Homo-oligomer: A and B are copies of this chain.
Amino acid sequence: MRNNSITGPKGFMAAGVKCGIKVSGKPDMALLVCPTGATAAAVFTTNKITSAAVEVSREHARSAKVYAVVVNSGCANACTGKLGLANARRMCAMTAAETGVRPGQVLVASTGVIGHQLPMAKVTEGITRAAAALSDSPRAGLAFAHAIMTTDTKCKRAYRQIMLSRKQVRIAGTVKGAGMIGPNMATTLLFVTTDVSISKPLLGKAFAEAVGSSLNRLTVDGHQSTNDTGVLLASGQAGNPRIASRSRDCERFSAALTELCTDLVRQMALDAEGATRMFKVVIKGAATQADAVKAARAIADYPLFKCAVHGGDPNWGRIICAVGSSGVALDPRRLSCKLDDLYVFRNGTPTDFDVKKAARIISQREHTITVDLGIGRAGDFYYGCDLSAGYVHINADYHT
């Protein structure tokens, strides 16, 4: 059986265990190790309030080689002051001691409720047990994916294999959802492993591009968290000639990485808190790309439109309202809107469209809304999901 978890690419071991941070008793400590050391790329939240883990990992990600990533769920360790920062450093030190490396070669990530201190006795036990459970088996990769979850109902994984200069290269990723997802050069918690041989700067560039057009184009509730962290580790064990800048191999690796991240984004949107449907908003004819992004995001974030999608109601007026409210340059007489291929509004006037057909389109598991602003040549896109009563129940009851 092919191992399509994050231990699939050569050179990685993982583990996921329970240590009691989560009241539910579900897995809450995860460990990813590359014993020979990996070239690392990382992206972090641009929220001005960052968790202790983000502060520490930002520093450690500069290291030439990263050997391990330790992750806890159930406690964000954000807004926790000096003690929180010391605890994040302790997590790295404990992991380093277990794996025989330096603390500065270990990254740390946390997710969960903001404002609580980590229960360090449980964390210590968790790291010890995770280190003992490390394995390169598919089961270990899956255990890692489960241990980073919070309100996710499904674990999210993606896998790609490509041939680069006749050598097989593997890329595997896992991500956690499911709320507090708004974009801006960051994501939630994302971990990608690959055995490709590549330099640190090129890896960083490829990762930034992939995240930029996938996770940074998803909004569930419009705000990025204090803890968003994306890490890509490359073990270099695939045996491919080291990827050169602007080479065909570089392009193909970037494309596969973007495809993998987009796959994860679709899984996140469909498993967002309470979500039952996802959509892609495509903006055309914008004056500038910034306007295109702004308009796409305004639609994807608009609660009234998200509710209409949930109800399977082709209430396109809410799309136009969101675009107009976003402040982007537009010409009302040239504004058009399509649901998949069905025009509902064209050059400023409603079309005589088939309402039942429109309702069928918007009731699909995935559909695309295209809005032409009618004044320029720039375009961009955003992914979003419906807003259901489930979102409210999850977030009114997810008590501190």
Binding site for B on A (CB under 8 A): 47-50, 76, 78-82, 113-116, 179-180, 182, 184, 221-226, 298, 301-304, 307-308, 310-311, 313-318, 320-325, 327-328, 330, 332, 335, 344-345, 348-350, 355, 387-389, 391-400
- Complex contact B304–A114 (CB within 8 A): no
Which has the most chain B C-beta neighbours within 10 Å: A114, A116, A313? Answer: A114
Chain B residues with CB under 8 Å of A222's CB are: 301-303
A185 to B73, CA, bound (A): 43
Chain B residues with CB under 8 Å of A78's CB are: 317, 320-321
A328 to B46, CA, bound (A): 12
- Complex contact B315–A399 (CB within 8 A): yes
A140 CB → nearest B CB, Å: 32
Contact of A393 among B323, B389, B393 (CB under 8 A): B389
10 A-B interface contacts by CB (under 8 A): A79-B317, A81-B348, A115-B344, A226-B321, A307-B395, A307-B396, A311-B396, A315-B400, A355-B400, A392-B392
| Interface residues of A, dominant DSSP | loop
Chain B residues with CB under 8 Å of A395's CB are: 303-304, 307-308, 311
A327 to B328, CA, bound (A): 19
A344 to B396, CA, bound (A): 19
- Complex contact A302–B389 (CB within 8 A): no
A328 to B391, CA, bound (A): 27
Contact of A113 among B113, B302, B315 (CB under 8 A): B315
A317 to B50, CA, bound (A): 12
Which has the most chain B C-beta neighbours within 10 Å: A48, A76, A344? Answer: A48
- Complex contact A324–B48 (CB within 8 A): yes
- Complex contact B114–A318 (CB within 8 A): yes
A277 to B335, CA, bound (A): 38
A367 to B387, CA, bound (A): 26
Given pairs A49-B320, A114-B320, A221-B304, 17 additional interface contacts (CB within 8 A): A47-B324, A49-B323, A49-B335, A79-B317, A115-B317, A179-B304, A225-B321, A226-B321, A303-B391, A307-B391, A310-B392, A310-B396, A311-B399, A313-B397, A313-B398, A317-B400, A389-B392
Residue of B nearest to A316 (CB): B115
- Complex contact B400–A221 (CB within 8 A): no
